[in-house]
Amino acid sequence: MERTIRIFLPVQGDPSATLAAFRDEPIRWLPAGRRGERGLTATVRAGGISRSVLVRVGDPWVVGATHWRSLRWDPLGDDEGPGRTDRLLPAFDGELGLHVLEQGRITLILDGRYVPPGGSVGAAIDGVAMGRVAQRSLERFLEDLAANLQERADLAMQPQ
């Protein structure tokens, strides 16, 4: 059973510099973003563990005051391939948005879907407890991403 999730996170900083950072190459702002043999990877943290995910980020597009990019990830094992322990981390498919208002307010948005691993048993566990873990993991991912965007924006604002 597919679950939907939507998270909003206010972001501090200069709107135009933050937007420029968001429109830049994803490897520059994804949490622990790096290029691997299979493509772009990032890190998702859940509780005390961190897992690598294979990430696909689409080109930016604009709807109103929100700049969007598609975002999809699939869990990777320690050897950059699918791992047994990563069956606990679901794949994610959604959109990442940066909403910029004229007053200078910026909000990062994560809107997407995941299928709890483990079939009907996994869906039942997700409904009772793991859904909160998934929510918190995605919140941490967004917080890490926002920190990276803010760092990139701050660097761009420094005099050369």
DSSP 39-56: EEEEEEEETTEEEEEEEE
User: Can you give the pLDDT at residue 134?
Assistant: 72
User: Can you give the pLDDT at residue 64?
Assistant: 93
What is the residue range of 126's domain?
Answer: 3-157
Q: In this structure, what CATH number is given to the domain that contains residue 69?
A: 3.30.530.20
The 10s digit of each residue's pLDDT in 46-97 is 767 788 889 999 999 999 999 999 999 988 865 544 444 445 567 889 999 9
The residue among 71 and 135 whose pLDDT is bigger is 71
Q: Tell me, rounded to whole angstroms, the distance of Cα 28 from its chain centroid.
A: 13
Above 90 in pLDDT, residue 118? no
The residue among 29 and 134 whose pLDDT is bigger is 29
Confidence (pTM): 0.81
User: Can you give the pLDDT at residue 91?
Assistant: 83
Short-list 16, 24, 94, CA closest to 60: 24
Least confident segment among 37-41, 47-51, 96-100? 47-51
Sign of CA dihedral 148, 36, 97, 59: positive
What angle separates helix 131-157 from helix 15-23, to the nearest 10 degrees?
110
Task: Enter the tokens of residue 71.
Answer: 């975002």
- Per the structure, the count of domains in the chain is 1
Above 70 in pLDDT, residue 23? yes
Above 70 in pLDDT, residue 5? yes
